[in-house]
Amino acid sequence: MTGTRKLRLGAFLQATGHHVAAWLHPTAQADAGLSLDHYKALAQTAERGKFDLVFVADSPGGYSDFTDPETFRQNAKAAYFEPVTLWSALSVVTRHVGFVATSSTTYEDPYTTARKFASLDWLSGGRAGWNVVTTGVDVSANFSQTEHLDHARRYERAEEYIDVVKGLWDTYEDDAFLRDRASGVFLDTGKFHLLAHVGPHFQVRGPLNIGRPPQGYPVIVQAGASEPGRELAARTAEVIFTANLVIEDAREFYADVKARMTRYGRRPDSLLVMPGIFPVLGGDEAEAKANYEELQALVAPEIAWSILRRHYQGMDLSGLSLDDKAPPPPSDTNGSKSRLKLVSDLVERERPTLRQLYRQISTARGHLTVVGTPETIADTIQHWFETGAADGFNLMPPTLPAGLDDFVDQVVPLLQARGLFRTEYEGASLRENLGLTRPPNSLALRDAPRAVSA
């Protein structure tokens, strides 16, 4: 390893793969979204590659736009598993790899979130992680809500939400359950703590009806890169998944978020920054480029325009062709501000045509795309890792299962040979393998007797 710092790797799984047309590719499994055997094989491949974790993004309202029949009929993301349920099943066929699932602070309840992630942590033997999202897309119609909260209110709610969930996880101290048959005492009530939270968004009494998770808290993961998102990550996150197209932006983000942590009394190494990477592999550069073009050729024109409209909401593109220069996107959104900025910066920096723009977004939605040999991919990962741009990467295979198989078989051995990545797991829990400390019980500290000064 390079000193004591270790490269971290996550496998970001999207059923058939991350390319927008992945399901059409011959190496993809078209029915992957509802195939347990498919996900079982992926999790075991990630574990064979000594990955820290596997991760699935999730939206509480789905990813399909059924209002556009032409694109809806081609959408491979219309049906897929709920992630905590899926990871619970996969935890029994793996031993080491961690499981990160998404749960929304805008459309779910803190008590339910605390309970299901604590359960996953117990079922997996301490391998659970919670990807905290505020949900930028308006899915309020699926939850009987009168409106979709604006960006600022979503993050205000998320700040309190995370504190409530952590407090519920601290209901019982680690050794609260005595289970002493001789005395008939099951629980040491002195090690039980009632949350009794009252705040602007939530009133949650507790207790949570499950023991404190094996990791203390499942690992807290976050993905926002807007100003409120960076602040939330600096205060609460332990891993942050981010999107950067160029290394200069990645270094700025990395340095900025780490610098913010000091005002919350946190060490910079207690937060791991893991950008997404979309690798297109080939035996040589020509083969890699051919593989890339094969993927891009699968994108139908109507899908291309749907991708563009998603980033130009409120703007009329009907008078433009794909070969026209991409206009500046809208200046603001109530959705993902960080993704809007990323696309806006790309348009300003590269002045692409609309065709060039959709081709960039269709691969990895604004994450780093690298086309080349295994050595090229390994060189990029090493350069970002060693020059202050990343603590690791969230792998986004173009197609699945082939994209993950190829990376594990061809790139991971290079990273190991260079001393950058593990050859064996260091611990039993996700925290241990990520090099993160186990948190103390906040309610035990709150309720501890205070010494009386003389």
* CA–CA dist 404, 42 (Å, integer): 7
**Cross-strand pairs, 177:** 187
Domain annotation covers residue 329: no
Greater model confidence, 451 or 318: 318
Mean pLDDT, rounded, for 256-281? 97
**237 phi, psi to nearest 5 deg:** -80, 155
**Cross-strand pairs, 53:** 10, 98
**Cross-strand pairs, 232:** none
CB of 217 within 8 A of CB of 439? yes
Q: pLDDT band for position 117 (50/70/90)?
A: very high
CB of 158 within 8 A of CB of 232? yes
* CA–CA dist 454, 452 (Å, integer): 7
Q: Is the pLDDT of residue 454 over 50?
A: no
Q: Is 242 helix (H, G, I), strand (E, B) or coil?
A: strand
Computed over every residue of the chain, the mean pLDDT equals 92
Tokens of residue 41, six digits: 């094989």
Domain annotation covers residue 406: yes
Which candidate, 164, 64, 163, 158, places its Cα nearest to that of 107? 158
Name, in order, each residue with C-beta under 8 angstroms of 382's C-beta and a sequence gap of 6 or more.
415, 418, 420
CB of 98 within 8 A of CB of 219? yes
* CA–CA dist 159, 284 (Å, integer): 47
Strands (E), 75-151: 98-104, 128-133
Q: pLDDT band for position 2 (50/70/90)?
A: very low
Domain annotation covers residue 454: no
Q: Is the pLDDT of residue 409 over 50?
A: yes
Domain annotation covers residue 32: yes
For the stretch 27-79, pLDDT in tens is 999 999 999 999 999 999 999 999 999 999 888 876 656 777 777 777 777 78
* CA–CA dist 102, 108 (Å, integer): 11
Domain annotation covers residue 292: no
Tokens of residue 6, six digits: 């270790």
- Going by the DSSP 8-state scheme, the letter that residue 410 receives in this structure is I
Which candidate, 77, 94, 96, 95, places its Cα nearest to that of 19? 77
| Residue 69 amino acid letter | P
Tokens of residue 163, six digits: 């504190």
Mean pLDDT, rounded, for 174-180? 97
Q: What is the pTM of this model?
A: 0.91
Domain annotation covers residue 395: yes
Residue bearing tokens 């090229």: 376
**Cross-strand pairs, 5:** 2
Strands (E), 111-176: 128-133
Domain annotation covers residue 321: no
* CA–CA dist 232, 182 (Å, integer): 48
**Cross-strand pairs, 56:** 101
Q: Is the pLDDT of residue 360 over 90?
A: no
Question: Where residue 145 sits, what CATH number does that domain have?
Answer: 3.20.20.30
Residue range(s) defining the domain that contains residue 250: 8-280+367-446
Name, in order, each residue with C-beta under 8 angstroms of 63's C-beta and a sequence gap of 6 or more.
75, 77, 78
Q: Are strands 272-281 and 392-395 parallel, antiparallel or unpaired?
A: parallel
Domain count for the chain, please give it. Answer: 1
Strands (E), 355-446: 368-372, 392-395
pLDDT at position 1: 39
Domain annotation covers residue 388: yes
Q: Is the pLDDT of residue 128 over 50?
A: yes
